[in-house]
Structure 1
Amino acid sequence: MGGFNLEVFDAKEPTRSIITLDNLTGDETVLAIKKRIAQKKDCKCTSVLELKLTVERQSVRVEPKGKAIPDEKQIKELGLAAQNAHLYVRDLGPQIPWKTVFLLEYAGPLLIYPLFYIRPGFIYGEGAAERPYHLAVTYAFICWSIHYAKRLFETEFVHRFSNGTMPRFNLVKNCSYYWGFAAFVAYFVNHPAYHPPYFGDYQVYLGLVGFAIAEFGGFHFRL
């Protein structure tokens, strides 16, 4: 595929030309095209290009309503016409890195649960703090804290993330699940009316053993 020009249109308004990229060879990847769109480097702008259209916000496709093309795909592999070659780009909106998403998801439960355990009077009313916790409640608090502290540690130091991102508006939905679930569990486990396990301490210690096996096993497989 010799040198050619590539015109990029807005996928939401297919007749609106966003930018024209000159002197392409066909060996460029979709990621390289995204970078040139974002930087407006060596290209002729045929309409106003919003500066907020960063690489992460772009979804490039062959048809306006087609599937997004992988970043590593080369232009010559897309079967574009030699003359009047064109692609479409869709603005995905503000993005947030997946690592940040996971850190926020896991930080919530680690901060919310202790509020119910440490400040029961604030949650359940006066007199709640005067009632001693059953051993199972304390163990539950410790295990919960260990679990989410481990998740934060793995997210920061163990997991490897690509450059993938998520729409920022989905963050509320994702965090609401983890944070809401933490409040739901903490409310009933730390409630003054909580009843200890039916089989007593044996059931508690059996649960602790299962928890330890699951946590160490999960951590081992992630290393």
Structure 2
Amino acid sequence: MVQVTITAVSKTPSGRGGFPLTIDVSPNATALTVRKAIVAKFPKFKTTRQRITVKGEKKNLVDETKLSEVLGEKKEWELQVKDLGPQVSWRTVFLVEYVGPLIIHPLFYYFPKFWYGKDVQHSALQKYVFAFVMLHFVKRELETVFVHRFSNATMPWFNIVKNSTHYHLLSGALLAADVYRPKFSATSPYIVGTIRNNEKFLWIGAGVWAFAELSNLHTHLTVRALRPAGSRKRGIPYGYGFSLVSFPNYFFETIAWATICVMTGSVGASIFTVVAVAQMAIWAIKKHKNYKKEFGKEYPRNRKAMIPFIL
């Protein structure tokens, strides 16, 4: 048996009483063993709230990590635990944030008189955009339930507020309020006699949007196939979209929203797209660096993070 001393680096649900905590574990113990031992001592300190690190280091030890691999053959090990606060599952966060636009857009689309003070005869463009938005977020919800496999089970509960604000306000209220208003209606000078009312233009836009959405789905399925259910295992993705960038899903989503911007000329759509693309770029760059660090020389050198040949 090996003796493990655990110190608390922040206030825990039970206060600091009981720490440092000393437990005896087998040489093959994992980080999950330690987490469960803490829960046994402090039932309110759930495993998902615990950030376990080697004393003096910052890297979180995932559940499967064998302590002997990071602490060596010592007879006494020292670890630290930090309380991450109340948690909520990633799947729940995704479901809540994506459902916002699915509720908000129909409210603006079907009840224009309430928002604009008069009825709106929807143009073909507005009908296309409404269909695009609804299909996009229905797809997102279905992917959350049936496709995505998450590296971490939970995230801080406040993220559900932060993430939902982005989707509910920008792709929800802001976009809906702008594109379903009278300016884009069937009788508006902005639409009548312009390319925005041209059937061929609308069909081309719909084709590009559908291509981007289906390509985005394909990349999600490719990544899913790399990770067995219940595993944190990561592999190098190859195939459609991955020959040029590490995260083609972000690239294809950018194309989908940019298509809506071009078709409508909507300020609301443009604001949401700029913010969304900037956020995806931040995620892509960070994850791209992690890929290169994790896989080293095995990782394809010619790949960019998100936009082919550029970023």
Q: Paired residue for 2:8?
A: 10
Letter in 2 for 1:108: G
CA contact (8 A) 1:61 1:88 kept: yes
TM-score after normalising by structure 2: 0.61
Question: Is the alpha carbon distance of 1:37 and 1:15 closer, same or farther for their aligned partners in structure 2, counting shifts above 3 Å?
Answer: closer
Take 1:122 and 1:20, find their aligned partners in 2: how far apart are those partners?
Answer: 63
Paired residue secondary structure (2:79): strand
The residue that corresponds to 2:288 in the other structure is: none
Tell me the equivalent position of 1:185. 175
Residue pair 1:11, 1:64 contacting (<8 A) in 2 also: no
- Which of the numbers 144, 150, 171 marks the counterpart of 2:139? 150
Are the counterparts in 1 of residues 71 and 77 from structure 2 also a CA contact under 8 Å?
no
Gaps of 5+ in 1: 41-48
Matched, 1:205 2:203: yes
Specify which structure has the higher proportion of strand. 1
RMSD (Å) for aligned C-alpha atoms: 2.3
Structure 1 residue 120: Cα displacement: 0.8
After superposition, the Cα gap between the structure-2 partners of 1:80 and 1:89, relative to the gap in structure 1 and judged at 3 Å, is farther
Unaligned runs of 5+ in 2: 185-189, 222-311
2:191 aligned residue (193, 196, 203): 196
Q: Which stretch of the first structure deviates more once superposed, 205-214 or 11-20? A: 11-20
Aligned to 2:155: 166
1:34 equivalent in structure 2:
35
More helix by share: 2
Runs of 4+ in 1 over 4 A off after TM superposition: 13-16
SS of alignment partner, residue 193 of structure 1: helix
Structure 1-normalised TM-score?
Answer: 0.84
| CA distance in structure 1 between the aligned counterparts of 2:86 and 2:72, rounded to whole angstroms | 29
Which residue in the other structure is 1:101 paired with? 93
Contact 1:120 1:190 in 2 (8 A): yes
Tell me how far 1:30 sits from its aligned partner. 0.6
Q: Which amino acid aligns with 1:213?
A: F
**What is residue 266 of structure 2 aligned with on the other side?**
none
Higher relative contact order (CA 8 A, sep 6+): 1
Question: Which of 126, 133, 144 is the aligned partner of 1:137?
Answer: 126
What is the Cα deviation at residue 222 of structure 1? Answer: 2.9
**Residue 217 of structure 1 pairs with residue 215 of structure 2:** yes
Q: Deviations over 1:82-111 (max 9, x none)?
A: 455321100000111111111111111111
Q: Match of 1:21?
A: 23
Counterpart Cα distance in 1 of 2:23 and 2:89: 28
Q: For the structure 1 residues 132 and 15, does the alpha-carbon distance in structure 2 shift closer, same or farther, using more than 3 Å as the test?
A: closer
